[in-house]
């Protein structure tokens, strides 16, 4: 301790804290480290509380917090808990971006020279870290108009895949192709919806609500590695179409429905890319739809024979 009471000079405080005099002066000049008093010669003097505060400042700066934010924490304008949570989110986003960049670079390194230009184009069209907003917009355009907002949001949430935080090069390629697919201009007229789902398909809200339930039931069967078959999931699937049209589920209706679904254009490309992105462990709605269509085809074929 300094001879003049419990006060230290700027040099003594710097030595005790293990920092330079320049550092102490920097924080003092910005008001983060209030000085106690001035000596008779006009030199700064600091008390023991300054050492504790300086150590706290150093700890906060070690976390890469900017000086203004450190100041707000010290003045209790920002809570340390909120700042730490925000910093964790920021670092998480940065790490995700780095992992996607690493996988993208690996994708370019491993491909044949003649593929590199195309892959660079795909990669360059996607933000890093990527987001799924273009996929959600695609589905909102694709869905029938005037669906209840709750139902439309649930369908979009189910149709848009979760992105892996640490993707493989294959997953990066799948997502960039998926992004290119959903952002490409639509050719022809209409939105490419299956005819069975279009404006002549009855009440779309009833249809899509029923399909969500049927897909969930079919997904359980698929996780159990069951082949397409009759049962609760198929009945729910057909019932969704029948109720949306105000008709009954009969063998004749199933036969007609099988033909309509088999003849309708599907967005298999979207679901194939989604499966590459998410992996085979969780069936996509597109895969479960195909499973149910196959179950319906099997049933109607047996009935006809």
Q: Smallest Cα–Cα separation from 210: which of 135, 154, 266, 129?
A: 154
CB 267 within 8 A of CB 197: no
C-alpha of 39 from chain center: 59
Neighbours of 25 (CB within 10 A): 14
Hey, is 9 helix, strand or coil?
strand
CB neighbour list of residue 187: distance below 8 Å, 6 or more residues apart: none
Residue 197 has phi, psi (to 5 degrees) of -105, -5
pLDDT for position 187: 58
- Could you tell me whether strands 8-9 and 37-38 are parallel, antiparallel, or unpaired per DSSP bridges? unpaired
Q: Is the pLDDT of residue 31 over 80?
A: yes
Q: Could you report the per-residue pLDDT of 2-16, keeping only the tens digit for each?
A: 444 568 888 989 999
Mutual orientation of helices 149-159 and 133-142 as an angle, nearest 10°? 130
Please give the torsion angle defined by the CA atoms of residues 217, 218, 219 and 220, in that order, rounded to the nearest 10 degrees: 60
129-140 per-position pLDDT tens digit: 899 999 999 999
List pLDDT tens digits, range 108-126. Answer: 999 999 999 999 999 999 9
Let me know: does 172 contact 180? Beta carbons within 8 Å.
Answer: no
């Amino acid at each position: 301790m300094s001879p003049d009471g419990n006060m230290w000079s700027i040099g003594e405080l710097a030595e005790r804290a293990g920092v330079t005099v320049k550092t102490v002066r920097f924080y003092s000049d910005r008001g983060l480290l209030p000085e106690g008093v001035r000596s008779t010669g006009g030199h700064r003097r600091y008390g023991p509380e300054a050492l504790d505060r300086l150590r706290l400042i150093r700890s906060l700066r070690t976390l890469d917090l900017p000086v203004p934010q450190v100041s707000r924490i010290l003045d209790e304008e920002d809570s340390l808990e909120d700042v730490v949570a925000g910093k964790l989110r920021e670092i998480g986003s940065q790490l995700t971006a780095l992992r996607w960049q690493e996988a993208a670079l690996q994708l370019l390194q491993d491909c044949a020279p003649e593929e590199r230009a195309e892959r660079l184009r795909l990669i360059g069209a996607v933000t890093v870290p990527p987001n799924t907003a273009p996929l959600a917009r695609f589905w909102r355009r694709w869905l029938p108009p005037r669906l209840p907002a709750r139902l439309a949001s649930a369908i979009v949430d189910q149709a848009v895949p979760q992105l892996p935080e640490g993707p493989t090069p294959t997953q990066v390629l799948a997502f960039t192709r998926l992004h290119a697919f959903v952002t490409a201009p639509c050719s022809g007229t209409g939105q490419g919806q299956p005819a069975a789902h279009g404006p002549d398909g009855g009440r779309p809200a009833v249809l899509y609500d029923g399909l969500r339930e049927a897909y969930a039931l079919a997904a359980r069967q698929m996780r159990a590695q069951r082949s397409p078959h009759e049962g609760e999931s198929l009945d729910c699937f057909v019932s969704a179409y029948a109720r949306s049209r105000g008709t009954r589920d009969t063998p004749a209706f199933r036969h007609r429905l099988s033909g309509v679904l088999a003849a309708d254009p599907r967005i298999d490309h979207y679901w194939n890319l989604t499966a590459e992105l998410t992996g085979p462990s969780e069936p996509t709605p597109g895969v479960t739809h195909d499973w149910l269509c196959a179950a319906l085809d099997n049933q109607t074929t047996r009935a006809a024979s």
